[in-house]
Structure 1
């Protein structure tokens, strides 16, 4: 079975390749000749995931899946949410995003947050969505060198390490993307 994972984020691609069973050949956007920016103009994580998957299906004809992920912080009423990647500006710089978030939380005692991933799958002319959530808290200083995005400041509930301090195999088991991918895999195996 061949499926396109519609992302330009090489970190996400690597993370997901480690989760997908060997009987599924994962194709990248480069593999199908897609080099344009896929629109992400919706106002929710779910709607962006659906928009991206539909774009690939409509323009390239491949069965595909895509994800959209956001960090939702309680004290900021769910921000940065759908704007997580460009929270500090269109340059999409992870350090700038983390610095802005840490600054916004300086005076907050409630540091509860959750990562939310929604996967949209176009498969056999049907659209399905799968959601994974990982709850935790935003710590006060960056810790760890692994991962990407907000991983150095997010500590999942029940763990003493941030995502950036964890081995990728642990993060994949407990993390939002791993949970959503597991639901996708269960669906594809039925």
Structure 2
């Protein structure tokens, strides 16, 4: 199984990074992508990918990553909750997915591919993540990806205790989804 773990957090020691590293233990063959370690731009709206039925032509750190994603069986996408939404790093990354549909707007992802989204947040109320989880569900479904979201509330910016408490439950949900 080809797995990508995409960490949208800038904090190397934060809850999202803890989750990413814990899931790497579960999927040691996975490709871990820490978006904050990459240099890339958002979509430049040049339409070259759609006109020429190619992948993104922007020459940055995503040039080799984006074509690899379409062969994934499972994408595990992780982000902290920033003002009720995903991190800026993850938003720019997802904007670049424009090239992951062909000229006829058909997804390039393989059939049966899945996206498991994890949001860590300080707020205790899981509904605080609903804007992000619902938005990302629409994105995933637009690419024909099966989608599941898991929210970990109570994650302080300097403390991974709640993520540690919830990691086994998260893995159980992931097992049921996959």
Report the structure number with the largest CA radius of gyration: 1
Q: TM-score, normalised by structure 2?
A: 0.39
Higher relative contact order (CA 8 A, sep 6+): 2
Larger strand percent: 1
Larger helix percent: 2
Q: TM-score, normalised by structure 1?
A: 0.37
